[in-house]
């Protein structure tokens, strides 16, 4: 059975004091009896500070981005080797904000995935359509194309290490949520695409999450689907009480499945 995972993407938030305050609260919360993985992805400038606070806990740490090159004259970038040296376990790749504001292409994303895997990092690969694409009825084919591009040249072993997140762009940070039923449909299609590219076992083993305005009062609609293995949570992950409630929702359904 796939273990549920809740990942907090802090984006370029919050200030250092608030960030420390949040993780001290998380650290003191009893995760021991939880059946879900919990990961936080702070801004890269705070990774070391946050990792030091969380070092004796089960909370996983992810970066929000990396470049695909190992080292070199790439001012401002962070390499997978550096993340590995820090013991960062995961890295978000292809978030729609990276695609939109930093012009990352499907090809860049595929290179980043391969490079992250080479350095032992778990890529959290984001895919999702914009509103126009959904309204034209092309959401499935758009997301399928993104998944196929992400998986290019990856073997079954590599694919089974990935986490995918279906994040419709129109639902990110907007308060508009994609219904659990619609998200589940796309996630089923993603599993079928993985199966066609690799094998049934890869498609059964890869964790696929929903992301887009997840809150404690809407997430039950998603996490109740067996196919949806957790959430990639932006805004709500900055609020301790909300984040814990979302983790608890995943923990409760884990016991049911
Ligand atoms: C995200 O950052 O990936 C995200 C889904 O943000 P939000 O939950 O704020 O919509």
Ligand 1 geometric centre to CA of 199 (Å): 30
Has residue 191 been placed in a domain? Answer: yes
Strands (E) in the chain, as ranges, are 5-9, 37-41, 60-63, 90-93, 122-127, 163-166, 207-211, 230-233
pLDDT in tens, the chain (257 residues): 899 999 999 999 999 999 999 999 999 886 666 789 999 999 999 999 999 999 989 999 999 999 999 999 999 999 999 999 999 999 999 999 999 999 999 999 999 999 999 999 999 999 999 999 999 999 999 999 999 999 999 999 999 999 999 999 999 989 888 999 999 999 999 999 999 999 999 999 999 999 999 999 999 999 999 999 999 999 999 999 999 999 999 998 876 66
Has residue 2 been placed in a domain? Answer: no
Residue 81 is part of a domain; what is its CATH number?
A: 3.20.20.70
Ligand 1 geometric centre to CA of 233 (Å): 5
Q: N- to C-terminal Cα distance for the chain?
A: 9
Of residues 11, 128, 120, the one with CA closest to residue 65: 11
**Among protein residues, the one whose CA lies closest to atom 8 of ligand 1:** 234
Q: How far apart are CA 215 and CA 196, in angstroms?
A: 33
Has residue 50 been placed in a domain? Answer: yes
Domain count across the chain:
1
Residue 162 has a pLDDT of 98
User: Which residues, listed in sequence order, are joined to residue 39 by a DSSP beta bridge?
Assistant: 7, 60
pTM over 0.85? The answer is: yes
| pLDDT 10s digits, 231-245 | 999 999 999 999 999
Residue 232 has a pLDDT of 98
Residue 67 has a pLDDT of 98
Ligand 1 geometric centre to CA of 20 (Å): 20
**Among protein residues, the one whose CA lies closest to atom 4 of ligand 1:** 234
Q: How far apart are CA 59 and CA 90, in angstroms?
A: 12
Domain extent at residue 243: 8-256
Active-site residue numbers? 95, 167
Residue 248 has a pLDDT of 94
Ligand 1 geometric centre to CA of 128 (Å): 12
Residue 62 has a pLDDT of 98
Tell whether ligand 1 has an atom less than 6 A from the beta carbon of residue 143.
no
Has residue 85 been placed in a domain? Answer: yes
Residue 203 has a pLDDT of 95
Residue 32 has a pLDDT of 61
* CA quadruple 216, 15, 42, 190: dihedral sign: positive
Has residue 1 been placed in a domain? Answer: no
**Among protein residues, the one whose CA lies closest to atom 2 of ligand 1:** 234
Tell whether ligand 1 has an atom less than 6 A from the beta carbon of residue 238.
no
Give the SS3 label for residue 61.
Answer: strand
The C-alpha angle 115, 140, 157, rounded to 5 degrees, equals 30
Has residue 32 been placed in a domain? Answer: yes
Q: How many Cβ atoms are within 10 Å of 30's Cβ, its own excluded? A: 6
Residue 40 has a pLDDT of 98
Ligand 1 pocket mutation, candidates 163, 168, 211, 238, criterion most atoms within 8 A of CB: 211
Whether the upstream peptide bond of residue 14 has omega within 30° of 0, thus cis, is yes
DSSP notation for 94-160? S-HHHHHHS---HHHHHHHHHHHHHTT-EEEEEE---HHHHHTT-HHHHHHHHHHHHHTT--HHHHT
Has residue 3 been placed in a domain? Answer: no
């Amino acid at each position: 059975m796939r273990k549920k995972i809740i990942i907090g993407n802090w984006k370029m938030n919050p200030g250092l004091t608030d960030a420390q305050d949040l993780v001290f609260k998380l650290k003191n919360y009893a995760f021991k009896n939880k059946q879900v993985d919990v990961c936080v992805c702070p801004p890269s400038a705070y990774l070391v500070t946050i990792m030091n606070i969380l070092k004796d806990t089960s909370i996983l740490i992810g970066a929000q981005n990396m470049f695909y090159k190992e080292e070199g004259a790439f001012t401002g970038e962070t390499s997978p080797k550096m993340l590995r040296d820090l013991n960062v376990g995961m890295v978000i790749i292809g978030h729609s904000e990276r695609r939109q504001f930093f012009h990352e292409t499907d090809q860049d994303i595929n290179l980043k995935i391969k490079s992250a895997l080479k350095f032992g990092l778990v890529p959290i690969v984001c895919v999702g359509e914009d509103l126009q694409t959904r309204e034209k009825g092309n959401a499935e084919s758009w997301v399928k194309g993104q998944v196929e591009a992400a998986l290019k040249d990856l073997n079954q072993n590599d694919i089974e290490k990935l986490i995918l997140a279906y994040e419709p762009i129109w639902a990110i940070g907007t308060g508009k949520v994609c219904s659990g039923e619609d998200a589940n449909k796309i996630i089923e299609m993603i599993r079928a695409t993985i199966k066609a590219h690799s094998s049934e076992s890869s498609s059964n083993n890869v964790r696929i999450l929903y992301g887009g305005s997840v809150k404690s009062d809407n997430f039950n609609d998603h996490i109740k689907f067996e196919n949806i293995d957790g959430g990639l949570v932006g805004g709500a992950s900055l609020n301790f009480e909300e984040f814990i409630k979302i983790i608890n929702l995943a923990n409760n359904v884990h016991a049911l499945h």
